[in-house]
Structure 1
């Protein structure tokens, strides 16, 4: 379908990797939908830390310049390619693109395999908060840590978007969850999300508090550059620490792994195979249908303020859910 290609849309464009001042709203042609793609009229776009790493040019996989930032979106199907069978114009959908860019725009072309039904129970803002957070949390728990019902889970950074998703998924699957946050509001949110216990990771003795209780079978680590050394002392026998986030090097003592025969496991959503990605998508869509996928929105920005969202997702004093850019009503 090429009828939309002559029309224009607003989009955030990055012409050079660098700081947020490289993000400019411009008018560019609406992309042409290809054979196995879905053209989404984007209502809301989710902002993730990885988006800032790409924009800064500090990521393993970088797009060609210029590019439109953003991986997560929710909106209505505008048109579909000739070989698309799962969606039709007007469907409410969300998307998560692992190897493509382009959701900070009024329209986004997404491969059909990366588009999923949103249903009617969630808003578009909530739909844009699903992709990377929920998919990453599921992959970390079940495809990497092989978590099981009854195990004890520690989530470092449980008030952030991935932490909230991980808490909901883990509780649904019968795990005991201890979550950390860095503010009073964050701690309250960790409890409201369903964690069995909440700990303030800015307390000077929070590690000692954690050590006083039972140790953990699985640890999800959003700030491994700060916490990884401690994590190795908090694991049960055969414990697994999954590294989800890191902003620099860290010193650890591998001897701490020997007594427990514990494991440190890296997790990156873009490394998922197509079959693994579809497994995750199916599980999350079922969670939407069953009603336990409940994204939490922190702040909503206009498209012209997308650069402020990029700043906030890295430099906020305490995460309280997902940051969203509302592209259009």
Structure 2
């Protein structure tokens, strides 16, 4: 998540990868997973209005406990309309997208003018209408930690450690497995109805 909000571009210092600013609204898809929870905590600490999605009642509760102002069930029909209603029709400024092959087309329609989608995860292709980006002069920004510079990684690490020291960044630990249960953990993460914190394999 640090990459989505904190990672610096190579050409601009002292700015976030998503150019997120206090007072803006951020939508975090899959906010009940390990990365999503961290995103909620960081965005709230940065002064953003935080909207999150999850797929189970437990996930929605987790999202709200970890900084989101509102949470929406992305498995329910019409949830995008509820998100737009929450912004009074203005749309969101930043979207942190964990599953862009499913959501990107809808994301572009939910953005405010000048909005940005940071693509953190994708499991395949998706068809979008480029006019959706033209109408709002929006941006799609790909984010991949392996391509971060040494300086970018150092800045992300400093931000994360500062958050942990201050107490507002706290990992949400989900189900824990012993090493001999690794195969079961693999099955569970594929078949789970919705993420709830970060799965942990103990050794």
Q: Same-fold call, TM > 0.5?
A: yes
> Per the alignment, in what secondary structure is the counterpart of residue 175 of structure 2?
strand
Match for residue 233 of structure 1 among 109, 127, 137: 109
Match for residue 3 of structure 2 among 119, 132, 139: 139
Aligned residues: 191
**8 A contact 2:28–2:53 mirrored in 1:** yes
In the aligned structure 2, how far is the partner of 1:283 from the partner of 1:142?
8
Q: Indicate the structure with greater helix content.
A: 2
| Pairing of 1:1-329 with structure 2 (within 5 A) | 137-143=1-7, 144-214=17-87, 215-327=91-203
Structure 1: segments with no counterpart, 5+ residues: 1-136
Greater Rg, structure 1 or structure 2? 1
Q: Give CA deviations for 1:90-144 in whole Å, capped at 9, x if unaligned.
A: xxxxxxxxxxxxxxxxxxxxxxxxxxxxxxxxxxxxxxxxxxxxxxx12101322
1:289 deviates by 1.0
- What's the TM-score, normalizing by structure 2? 0.91
Q: Indicate the structure with greater strand content.
A: 1
Q: Give CA deviations for 1:190-229 in whole Å, capped at 9, x if unaligned.
A: 1111200010111111112122232111000111111100
In the aligned structure 1, how far is the partner of 2:191 from the partner of 2:119?
20
Structure 2: segments with no counterpart, 5+ residues: 8-16
Tell me: higher relative CO, structure 1 or 2? Use CA pairs within 8 A at least 6 residues apart: 2
4+ aligned runs moved over 6 Å, structure 1: none
- What's the TM-score, normalizing by structure 1? 0.57
In the aligned structure 1, how far is the partner of 2:36 from the partner of 2:150?
24
Measured on the aligned residues, the alpha-carbon RMSD in Å equals: 1.1
